[in-house]
Structure 1
Amino acid sequence: MSGTEIARHIPYLRRFARALAGSKSAADAEIGLVLQALIDGRVGLDPDLPLRAALFQAFCSVVRPTDRTGQPADGNSFHETQLRGLEPLARRAYLLVVMEQFGPDEAAAILGVSAERVEQIVSSVEARMARTLGMGAVESLPGDAIRVDPETPRPGAGPQQDPQRGRS
């Protein structure tokens, strides 16, 4: 794997870190810690996982979850406020599945828990948000609803077009 292959996934990892940390500067510092740990060999990439999932797993092993419940969110969106009220594992699991579009099995491998636990967490968070909104059950809240950096592409999206040059 090359640095170019890893670099392709950094915007997604940065979006995830931003959603967890609550600020771009804190997220960038955390990404820096992860990249340095990879360079120094303090953490490795799981060869049994796709590269993107392995990078998220490395992030989760280097950056220890902190309890930010009750802290004000940088943004004032409903979803950011709701995410601040979650315990760290629930916040990570929910963001991996809903925002980053990992399946329960990949999210479980990233977090070191069972796929059933990930599904239970996501269902519980969705039910909590639905109750807060006064809605019935929801299948899934859209990832765009909690997207924290509009410049970051959605998973699976192709390269962004430069409108002035008509190319990536």
Structure 2
Amino acid sequence: MSLASDIAPHLPYLRRYARALTGSQTNGDSFVRAALEAIVAAPADFPRDVDARLGLYKVFHAIWSSANVDIAPESDGAAHDMERVAQDRLAAITPLSRQALLLTAMEGFTNEDAGYLIDATPTDVASLVAEALAEIDRQTATRVLIIEDEPIIAMDIESIVRDLGHEITGIAVTRDEARALAQSDRPGLVLADIQLADGSSGIDAVQDILGEFSVPVIFITAFPERLLTGSRPEPTFLITKPFQRSTVKAAIAQALFFNSTASFG
């Protein structure tokens, strides 16, 4: 099997990770593109002593560490201003700690594999994750709108959100209900499923909300690869169903950390 065939199934998840790490579709995709260009330029240098997914993330981290990537400017001034604010806030939490948390909680790597990716020992990774979680605990609380039509999942998400110290503005099960709840009680964060109870779309519900005001958004889906195709504008923050509590916690922390709109385009 070719190297391209080996890494292709893992690209949607690398793109998800890159966006969560940078807080931007544009920036995340720029780093992924640079990693792929490095692989094409020197395929013999691709790590073959580990599985393809680990090797792919290793190449990405080499690019990330060098930070020698041309970042395309955001399309509007407001987004650019938020990017600048986010970069100013990077000093508030050690970059390695964010990487360790996202690699383990969101991407599901073991401490050993995460250590390989960021050149740290498993013990160091555990300490870095603890550091990131401590920073999350100090994060300012916000008000959260949940758009989810499955009652058990909605209750689970609500429990996680409340445990993090945030309030719930409401739980919507349809597009119209989500729009109405957002208009009546403006949230500081939205967690949205893709498919809703009446056949409406969580994506459309979020677009309705973002048409009224800016708010960070995290999408929840069983099929993230369907949204990360590169063929259309896509969300920045994605959680895969079934999810772990730690995954939701990490995604919420990143979305609020960057305080940017996970909109499309």
TM-score by length of 1: 0.67
Aligned length: 138
Give the equivalent residue in structure 2 for 1:40: 41
Give the equivalent residue in structure 2 for 1:125: 132
Structure 1 CA distance, aligned partners of 2:241 and 2:55? 15
For residue 26 of structure 1, report the CA deviation from its aligned partner: 1.4
Once superposed, which parts of structure 1, at least 4 consecutive aligned residues long, lie more than 3 Å away?
A: 70-73, 82-85, 131-134, 147-151, 153-157
Give the equivalent residue in structure 2 for 1:108: 115
List gaps (5 residues or longer) in structure 2. 68-82, 142-163, 165-190, 192-216, 226-239, 244-265
For residue 84 of structure 1, report the CA deviation from its aligned partner: 7.7
* CA RMSD after TM alignment: 3.4
Structure 2 CA distance, aligned partners of 1:48 and 1:156? 30
Percent same amino acid among aligned pairs? 29
For residue 47 of structure 1, report the CA deviation from its aligned partner: 2.0
Give the equivalent residue in structure 1 for 2:172: none
Alignment of 1:1-168 (within 5 A): 1-2=1-2, 3-41=4-42, 44-64=45-65, 71-73=84-86, 85-132=92-139, 150=220, 152=224, 154=240
Q: Which string of whole-angstrom CA distances, capped at 9 and with x for unpartnered residues, describes residues 72-120 of structure 1?
A: 45xxxxxxxx988322211111110111110100000011111110001
Structure 1 CA distance, aligned partners of 2:242 and 2:6? 14
TM-score by length of 2: 0.44
List gaps (5 residues or longer) in structure 1. 74-81, 135-140, 158-168
The amino acid that maps onto 2:134 is A
Is 2:98–2:129's contact at 8 Å kept on the other side of the alignment? no
Looking at secondary structure, tell me which structure has more strand per residue: 2
SS in 1 for 2:59: helix
Structure 2 CA distance, aligned partners of 1:58 and 1:103? 18
Select the structure of larger CA radius of gyration: 2
